[in-house]
Structure 1
Amino acid sequence: MKKLSVVSTILIMINTLIVSSVFSKTDDPSLPNVSSEAAIVMEATTGEILYEKNAQSQMYPASLTKIATAIYAIENRKLNDVVTISKKARNTEGTRVYLEEGEQVTLEKLLLGLLVNSGNDAGVAIAEHISGSVELFSADMNLYLEDVIGLRNTNFENPHGLFDPEHVTTAEDLAKLTRYAMKNDEFMKIFGTKELPWNGESWDTTLYTHHKLLREKPYEGVTGGKTGFVPEAGVTLATTAKRENLNLIVVTLKSDTEAEAYADTVQLLDFGFENFETVSIPKESSFFAGDFEYITPSVFFYTHQADEQVTIAVKEDEKLRITNQNGALLSSYQFPVVSASETNLPSNPEDVRPFFPPGISSSIYLFLLVVGLSGLVYYRVRKKQL
């Protein structure tokens, strides 16, 4: 039997989805009845969408913009950078942390003010520190969102989310953004902060997160969240929560009231936790297709409905498929294929090395092996007779 040992790094996240695994707004009474104009539930480990409503429609995000500002700043500057507050930052309208012109603040403190208290002045200070101006920062961040995170339907005109008719995104892009940011420990530490003392030149207080599921009405498993509101956007809400093997992201956009946004979010979290699970396939698991064995070099995750049976198999096209009891595809992974000449290069991380020597088929190899063993047995028998 031929054996292929896949030693390349597998991209764990599987984004091949089918319609039956994505739940959209329908009249099905078992699905959430969401009032917000747009909403999405995404499993953060696998990236699979468990529910969506108008998730690809461009809308105004309000302060959910600050998720992008925060992760961009964390990945492009040091948290101990000292930022000098400008007059423009000082005079920014809306929710603030009351920074003073000339005040010097660390980037980490500004990020806390940005996410915990939704400080628009902190957002402008961060933008000016990184790119020199709000305009240049917005251009830089848009490139980052597209090239690094892969967002395709987002354009931000500022770092805070105050209304601009061209400042738009989608629920799906915000879920992808949040999923990316969640991989950063510093971001999640700030994103999940419930309260902290704030000692500024003109404001000494204790800041409390605006997200009620983190503080006022705690929901089991919530790990972070961001709120937003401008009249044109309505109430916007992003929430992350984890229970056992399920790690959820919920985004709701354009809710009429806070109560509506939170009710939708709780309903969507309940829907995810009650109906789905994420399962892991251990590292070095073997799958056979014809004369070949395929071995996963790292842990492989997929999400499915908790009450459905799944089948995991590799077909002749060297693709690992996970299907439900109806044969519907849930996730898939294409094992890499290399030419015979590449299999002799062990330093190549994309190597797929054959068990048998290159150029020798399994039947010939087994024939030679039998002949060799037969000869060895004959030699030993003859030696004893002599």
Structure 2
Amino acid sequence: MRRLPGLITMMFIFLVILAAEPVFAEESLQPPAEQTGQPADQTVEQLPETQHSEAAILIDAKSGAVLFAKNETERLYPASITKIVTGIIALEQSNPSDIVTVSKTARNEDGTRIYLAEGEQKPMLDLIEGMLINSGNDAATAIAEHIDGTKEQFAERMNEFVRKLGLWDTNFVNPSGLPDENQYTTARDMARIAQYAMQNEQFRQVVATKSRPWVGEEWVSKLENHNKMLGSYEGAIGVKNGFTQAAGYTLVSAAQRGDMELIGVILKGATDSGVYKDMTQLLDYGFAHFTSKQVMAADEKRTFVTRDTGKPAEFIADKPLFVTIKDGVVPTVAVDSNGKVYVQSSEVYNPAETAGALVPIIPLAEQAEVQIASVTNSNPVKGSGQSAKFSGWNLGVAITWSVMLLFMLLAGRIMYVRQRRRRLYK
């Protein structure tokens, strides 16, 4: 019994250690919300069905983040959404006030027309509006011939344009979208094209126009926008719809609510009403579950510990940097020594790891002697998928049992001493 105090101490320490061991309870299988960047209260969202369309995609217009995709790389016919490319090229490569003379070829173009007369002269902007608002194929041909002489040469310009955007699954042979087996695109490519075009303020104004008067030599009427989203969807601001028997129904739509702007693309829709139902689902899904967040303003200067060198360096953004995240998530931003941006969060979509730099960053002089906290990665650490946590409740239980055991041992010690004394004095 002389060893009893030491024994008691050892048992007490042992119980405390047991209580402090990692507990892999069900709630600890994922790191807590404040560590992962995930909202604590997540619900499983219903993904868009897009059952009326062969291919679809939804992106954030500011960051380019892909929020939903279905067969987005399948090559399909574009129909009149081709005119988005013709329109943005015309605005960039010509003057809106240029006078265009309509050729016989343009006058006799197939498909939807605004009934231009041979020899009629119109300002370029009028033809751009007639093409994008009323989907005039004759206007598209007149624009192409004015800029490059022929539709074929203009198509080469269109292909050069999309290649500069890094798009290789799109090819054009005419400016209007009339059927041709060599005229194709993908939902992903068209989303990128629309994202680029919607950065042009004049383009935005044209595709948002619902109607406007038209006075021509052979046709006096109104240009009516064929994009029904403009009249049926809250926040709709463009872009273009199309249809041919070969392409089915196609639709590119942009919508803005608050600070968030989304672009949706649908290809090979089965019915006219079906593509609008699918587009409504796409946009509703995006606005309901995502947020576009600006993490750096234009010309904002910030110091990062570069992820490849581990050294602090100062950077300045040459334009605003946006990321798209699930609602309630706070993204973590890191930069490498070349100015490539990485957004680190398990709930950030279209990460820079695969998409390249989200925005060009200009590195300034390195400041290796400056010690600052490095940017942490908010992604869960790969491994067993479990996260050990310290349980305060278990520690309390251990202390309680240890105290009880201590009293029991002390009581036993007292009883033992008393019994021994009784034997000695008998």
Query: TM-score scaled by structure 1?
Result: 0.76
Query: Within 1, Cα distance between the matches of 2:142 and 2:358?
Result: 46
**1:325-336 pair list within 5 angstroms:** 330-331=351-352
Alignment deviations for residues 156-179 of structure 1 (CA, whole Å, 9 cap, x no partner): 110100101111111111011001
Alignment partner, residue 158 of structure 2: 141
Q: 1:353 to 1:30 in 2, by over 3 A?
A: same
Alignment partner, residue 247 of structure 2: 233
Instruction: Give the alignment's Cα RMSD to 1 decimal.
Output: 2.7
Alignment partner, residue 50 of structure 1: 67
Q: CA deviation at 1:196?
A: 0.4
Alignment partner, residue 382 of structure 2: none
Which of 239, 250, 257 matches 2:271?
Answer: 257
Which of 187, 197, 200 matches 1:171?
Answer: 187
Runs (5+) with no aligned partner, structure 1 = 1-27, 337-348, 364-386
Counterpart code for 1:292: P
SS at match of 2:119: coil
Which of 282, 285, 289 matches 1:275?
Answer: 289
Q: 1:351 to 1:266 in 2, by over 3 A?
A: closer
Alignment partner, residue 325 of structure 2: 304
Counterpart code for 1:80: S
Alignment partner, residue 235 of structure 2: 221
Which of 316, 321, 328 matches 2:342?
Answer: 321
Q: CA deviation at 1:362?
A: 7.5
| Mean CA deviation greater in 82-91 or 327-336 | 327-336
Count, aligned residues: 317
Counterpart code for 2:280: V
Alignment partner, residue 214 of structure 2: 198
Alignment partner, residue 56 of structure 2: 39
Asked whether the 8 Å contact 1:39–1:252 carries over to 2, the reply is yes
Alignment deviations for residues 77-128 of structure 1 (CA, whole Å, 9 cap, x no partner): 1111111111111111111000000100111000000000000000111111
Alignment partner, residue 312 of structure 2: 292
SS at match of 2:221: strand
Alignment partner, residue 84 of structure 1: 101
Alignment deviations for residues 203-241 of structure 1 (CA, whole Å, 9 cap, x no partner): 1111111111112x2x11111121100001100001011
Q: 1:362 to 1:96 in 2, by over 3 A?
A: closer
Query: Within 1, Cα distance between the matches of 2:348 and 2:127?
Result: 51
Which of 170, 178, 190 matches 1:154?
Answer: 170
Which of 81, 104, 119 matches 2:121?
Answer: 104
Asked whether the 8 Å contact 1:309–1:325 carries over to 2, the reply is no
Asked whether the 8 Å contact 1:318–1:335 carries over to 2, the reply is no
Counterpart code for 1:305: K
Counterpart code for 1:229: F
Query: Within 2, Cα distance between the matches of 1:188 and 1:327?
Result: 28
SS at match of 1:98: coil
Query: Within 1, Cα distance between the matches of 2:348 and 2:363?
Result: 32
Greater gyration radius: 2
SS at match of 1:37: strand
Asked whether the 8 Å contact 1:304–1:330 carries over to 2, the reply is no
**1:12-27 pair list within 5 angstroms:** none
Percent identical among aligned pairs is: 40
| Mean CA deviation greater in 300-309 or 244-253 | 300-309
Alignment partner, residue 381 of structure 2: none
SS at match of 2:301: coil
Counterpart code for 1:304: I
Counterpart code for 1:279: K
Which of 74, 81, 86 matches 2:91?
Answer: 74
SS at match of 2:323: strand
Query: Within 2, Cα distance between the matches of 1:150 and 1:181?
Result: 15
Alignment partner, residue 225 of structure 2: 209
Runs (5+) with no aligned partner, structure 2 = 1-43, 372-426
Query: Within 2, Cα distance between the matches of 1:85 and 1:316?
Result: 54
SS at match of 1:202: coil
| Mean CA deviation greater in 250-259 or 273-282 | 273-282
Asked whether the 8 Å contact 2:75–2:185 carries over to 1, the reply is yes
Asked whether the 8 Å contact 1:225–1:239 carries over to 2, the reply is yes
Query: Within 2, Cα distance between the matches of 1:318 and 1:71?
Result: 30
Query: Within 2, Cα distance between the matches of 1:104 and 1:328?
Result: 48
Asked whether the 8 Å contact 1:311–1:325 carries over to 2, the reply is no
Query: TM-score scaled by structure 2?
Result: 0.69
Alignment partner, residue 404 of structure 2: none
SS at match of 2:230: coil
